[in-house]
Structure 1
Amino acid sequence: MKKLAIIGFGPRGLHALEMLFLELSKKNKSDIEVHIFENEDELGAGQVWNTKQSTVNWTNITVRALRNLEGRPEINFENLTIPAFPSYINSLSAEEQEALKHLPDQFPPRRDIGKYLKERAQSIVEILQKHKLVKLHKTFVTQIKCVDTIFELVDLTGATYKSDEVLLTIGHQPTKLSEDLTSFEVDSLESNKTFFSETYPIYKIIKSDATSKSKNIAIRGFGLAMIDAVRALTIEKGGRFEISNKNTFASKFITSKNVAEKIIPYSLDGLPMVPKPLNEEIDHQFIPSKKQKERFKNVVLKYANGKLKAENANFLKELFAEIGVAVYNRLENKIECSDSSENLIKTLLMWFENQKHKHECLLNTERNTISLLTNYVSMAANEIEISLDFCVGQVIRHLQPTLYAAFSHAAVEDSLFADVIQFDELMKRYSYGPPIKSMQQLIALYEAQILDFRFVDDPKITAHKDYWRFEKGDARLNCEVVINSVLSAPKLLEVTTPLIMNLLNDDLLQPVHSKLGIETNSDATIVLDDENREIPIAVLGRLAKGSVIGVDAILECFGPRIKDWAKGFVDRL
């Protein structure tokens, strides 16, 4: 009897279990016992997709895109049948599916997807438990020891569990606080100021007395988590948005006594997120042709496989620029200019290096923040001429799945991998942009004189006894609360989770690059410096090299990497 320990059972752990038994049924193999270690109450959903969280936490993926979250086929294993489970779209009622055809793109609350994931997990776990093929352990694993080829797992209570193989699917892990975050933390401990080092779980912000009583609140970061934090500070504090235009979600904000007078977001560059197109019809014009997608895939694969060599991500930027300009040229509603395609490609390459680069076809980022927001929203609704940067951002979004698939286990130098990741992160303000409705809420809060953009671009911050003072130019504001909304990068050596720290200390994990995480084989098993050592630990998710791009998307949790792991595990039986 071979024992497998799956540590972490969110969406990725759920799909690993599904793929495992699917592969076992294909190869007619059995004699296995799976132990699941998960400290969260809701299997399959985890903390991110928990069904009890606030509705202010929205997904950043449209219901339309969730068509790709496929269902589970029926699995016949030995004398039992694991029932099929529908895709996300097919799990919706007929009325809901029909309504979606006539609405702008919808972005469901995370807890709605969590409900789907929870039910999907129950439908397989319960039947496997009944047949004693799966055992659940609601506990927190802190250490994994390897003793004579057998793993010994230790939890918080000191209890131990034996296993032959281990699969880590633990998702995002906390890391050491940066210097400025450490400063906020220390300052808050020695005064009446309040600092939240993370936005999630968001109920801590919602239930805090400090966020209800403070006059001014600052949010570090100007991305998706910032928007969730803003909704927590407004809707969950008794405020409400009244939609004045159902087509574009233009809104008016009605405040309440528990909403702060001023909320100030800030970041290093002050550049806002760019919303996704309003609906499928508008979005369709940014989709590259089949021929363009195929060429992109073929070229990227040649670099990923080492057939073509590159020292940096310039080859990728050139591809994006070439395809982006071709798509831009075919748009009917765009900013016209006299430049040739060749010159527009050069313009984009300069813009990739500096997003404040100026050109008549690019939206000038030196405009004030509210002007940028309103222009981006109008472009997303196709109400004004599309700029070149908006267009290429959407093109990159449509090509990202191909990029992520090609670079899962790319045979490239770490320096190139790091540069690709850096560029991908840079473009996420376009490709991972929020829905229009979110941006309209920010605009409404600005018009209500609550959201203040005067400090958005790298303000000076000084600590005082009962507040932090923010300064930019002649503007000053004292904030009693600071919320960090910037998700820490998956730097393996800076992770503070006891499990990962102990694995590193015991030499069971070796980072190939502090920015890239753990190097794994195509079947997700870890790669060690000593080629003669083989340790059957597999890693899927944010900490694995090859998973640090695209890892935050729910669809990636049900992607091919999980199937590759399952095939590898079954082959080793």
Structure 2
Amino acid sequence: MAYKPPSIPEDSVKIAFIGFGPKGLYGMERLLANLAQEEAAFPIELHLFNKSNSFGAGDIYNPNQPPYLLMNYSNGYINMWSEGLPEAIVEHPKSFVKWLSDNEVGFPDVKADGFSSRAAVGRYLTEGFEQLMESCPAHITIIPHVGEVKNIEKTGESYRLLYHNGKSELLESEEDIQNILICTGHPCVNDPDASSNASYIDFIYPVDKRLYQIPPFSTVAIRGMGLTFIDAVLGLTEGRNGKFITEGKKMTYVRSGLEPEKIYPFSKSGLMMMPRGNTFGKPTYSPCFFNEDLLKYLEDLDGKYDFEKQLLPLIEQEFIAVYYSKVFMEYGMRLHLSRDYSEVKAQIDRFLDQHPDIPVFDFHDFLMNPLPQDNLHTNTKECIRIHIEQAEIGVEKSAIAATADLWRHLSELFNELYKFGGLLPQSQKLFLEKYAGHLNRLSYGPPIENMKKIAALAEAGLIDFSYAQNPTLLKNGKFVLASEKGASIEADILIDARIPKVQLHRCAGELFENMMNEGLIHPYVNRQEGKLDYRPGCLAINEKGHPMDPSGLVNPALTFSGTPTEGLTYDNDTLSRKRNDFVSAWAKDLTESLYKKKEAAQLN
């Protein structure tokens, strides 16, 4: 059993947090703020379960990770303290920018529109956690447990958690938990049938430990070309004492001699993410076509939309309007926007007739068309160069940068339409498999600095994009990448750098697998009469994050937030306190419920 201070009464209320990264931290902060408003005090225990001792930061923002792993989220957007009521229990809660400016050592040049290291964000979150611990009301005891929860067992009206403390093979238990917030983040692997070993690495974090086993001068293939890929590459280069040197706008790489001989990235599309320039503080874009007013005219089918037939045309119109608005500006002209798209299109058609040398913007090409296979390495390097150049020009002037940034502005409304089965079953499947990754690739890419590093490594011959576009992967002693044209290379090491998703039907993870066996959670099925069902892989929850059984019965004692809700919500992989905020309502409802129960017990 976990250590329990003798001063805690036996009849105290016990609440558990499973997974205590940022989402768990946000939940505890809101719960303490709500509990502190109540005048009548009774003993409460908060049991925090986290796989490591990085409470508040979790593994992704662990303060001990290397400083070259950067956020792709501007400093100004980060604030662990809620702007809503009730106010936080700590004195003088600080935004991340304020915290950075008050910590002058190591942060001499603080900018709201800059990008900090994940380690710096982790220190900020950890310090916030420590402030909460110090400011906690006397009747509330916070008990951290370092360990991975393996199962939740129902015991009458309460629960017992079984977890591994990392020190022995024994499972330890905590009984009489009355309410549980589950914020477990990403599962650890994409392929449950393959185990990580010396030649195959299924998860790169922490990079200094997981990538240490890769010997210098080896050939490395990396599956996935997103943010995790960039972290893996930097771990194998800058993390091995390689140096990036910047002269003017040009960045070059100097080898340390400890790097791999060659790195071969690959993915289904073979496309790199678009780099992000500074967007914080820029004017908010107000959509002309993909907005609530025009969506009222769409006919849904029992509250469900067809993404490709109904929503995508409006999104495409928005992309076209933004692109040509910037192109018009380059020619000293203005595109007059109207809710009537035909009027906008007429202006664009006249402009293109007058300027036949200007390429016609094609939304689908911009979104997902792969680069020509001929000389794919050179084409990819040139594409990266152009995108860096446009990101440096910025969203206010560059047509490419502004258009790439657009999905960030549209996704909030899209999430409202998408969440809790808002798309038709097969339309949700189509969106997730065909469009979601490409839209995220446009708007949620790395900071410019990191993309410059990738360009420098490619120029130095360390990265080769020749097999980037959907090669055949074979295992024949070594890992073999084969292109459509028959060329192939062998790699000593394969790294999986894709972001894992919760897939209850194929890779639930031990905790969720056991919870399904206990009947505590059930897979979500998107159903529509007369249509094929779709199972996105997530669990069934209601709009407050409580799990539901197939009959619709809700269990309010359990609440999920963050990554476990993906599939019923969209875009959870963020530090935002506002996007898909389940914990604020959870904290308020739980506080009210606890005090009602205490009042009822006193009356009896």
TM-score by length of 1: 0.83
Q: Choose 19-28 or 494-503, whichever is displaced more.
A: 19-28
Find out whether 1:288 has 2:285 as its counterpart: yes
Taking a change above 3 Å as real, the CA distance of residues 448 and 350 of structure 1, as seen in their structure-2 partners, is closer
Separation in structure 2 between the aligned mates of residue 9 and residue 304 of structure 1, nearest angstrom: 42
Partner of 1:220: 223
Separation in structure 2 between the aligned mates of residue 57 and residue 98 of structure 1, nearest angstrom: 19
Q: How far apart are 1:490 and its partner, in Å?
A: 2.0
Q: How far apart are 1:160 and its partner, in Å?
A: 2.2
Contact 2:181 2:560 in 1 (8 A): yes
Partner of 2:202: 197
Partner of 1:468: 479
Contact 2:221 2:264 in 1 (8 A): yes
| Number of aligned residues | 542
**Residue type matched to 2:202 in 1?**
S
Partner of 1:207: 212
Contact 2:307 2:423 in 1 (8 A): no
Separation in structure 2 between the aligned mates of residue 434 and residue 395 of structure 1, nearest angstrom: 16
Identity %: 22
Whichever structure has more helix as a proportion of its residues is 1
Separation in structure 2 between the aligned mates of residue 410 and residue 508 of structure 1, nearest angstrom: 21
Contact 1:129 1:135 in 2 (8 A): no
Q: Secondary structure at the match of 2:461?
A: coil
Partner of 1:115: 123
Q: How far apart are 1:376 and its partner, in Å?
A: 1.0
**Residue type matched to 2:320 in 1?**
V
**Higher Rg:** 2
Find out whether 1:170 has 2:184 as its counterpart: yes
Contact 2:243 2:253 in 1 (8 A): yes
1:357-436 equivalences in 2 (<5 Å): 368-382=379-393, 390-404=401-415, 407-409=418-420, 413-422=424-433, 423-436=435-448
**Residue type matched to 1:326 in 2?**
A
Contact 1:288 1:323 in 2 (8 A): no
1:123-522 equivalences in 2 (<5 Å): 123-128=131-136, 131-156=139-164, 157-161=170-174, 162-175=176-189, 177=191, 182=194, 194-208=199-213, 211-245=214-248, 248=249, 250-277=250-277, 284=282, 287-289=284-286, 292=288, 296-297=291-292, 309-331=304-326, 341-342=344-345, 348=362, 350-351=364-365, 355-356=369-370, 368-382=379-393, 390-404=401-415, 407-409=418-420, 413-422=424-433, 423-465=435-477, 467-472=478-483, 473=485, 475-513=487-525, 514-522=535-543
Separation in structure 2 between the aligned mates of residue 60 and residue 39 of structure 1, nearest angstrom: 25
Q: How far apart are 1:476 and its partner, in Å?
A: 3.8
Separation in structure 2 between the aligned mates of residue 406 and residue 548 of structure 1, nearest angstrom: 10
Which whole-Å deviations, capped at 9, do the CAs of 1:443-469 have from their partners, x for residues lacking one? 11121111111111122333333x323
Q: Choose 199-208 or 552-561, whichever is displaced more.
A: 552-561
Q: Secondary structure at the match of 1:368?
A: helix
**Residue type matched to 2:209 in 1?**
K
Q: Choose 3-12 or 30-39, whichever is displaced more.
A: 30-39
Q: How far apart are 1:144 and its partner, in Å?
A: 0.9
Q: Secondary structure at the match of 2:181?
A: strand
Separation in structure 1 between the aligned mates of residue 33 and residue 244 of structure 2, nearest angstrom: 47
Taking a change above 3 Å as real, the CA distance of residues 427 and 279 of structure 1, as seen in their structure-2 partners, is closer
Which whole-Å deviations, capped at 9, do the CAs of 1:83-136 have from their partners, x for residues lacking one? 3421112212269699445x9x52211000000000001111244386443222
TM-score by length of 2: 0.79
Taking a change above 3 Å as real, the CA distance of residues 383 and 413 of structure 1, as seen in their structure-2 partners, is closer
Q: Choose 330-339 or 145-154, whichever is displaced more.
A: 330-339
Taking a change above 3 Å as real, the CA distance of residues 212 and 404 of structure 1, as seen in their structure-2 partners, is same
Separation in structure 2 between the aligned mates of residue 418 and residue 541 of structure 1, nearest angstrom: 20
Partner of 2:575: 554
Q: Secondary structure at the match of 2:152?
A: strand
Partner of 1:362: none
**Residue type matched to 1:269 in 2?**
S
Separation in structure 1 between the aligned mates of residue 564 and residue 395 of structure 2, nearest angstrom: 41
Q: How far apart are 1:531 and its partner, in Å?
A: 3.9
Separation in structure 1 between the aligned mates of residue 328 and residue 381 of structure 2, nearest angstrom: 23
Which of 99, 121, 125 is the equivalent residue of 1:91?
Answer: 99
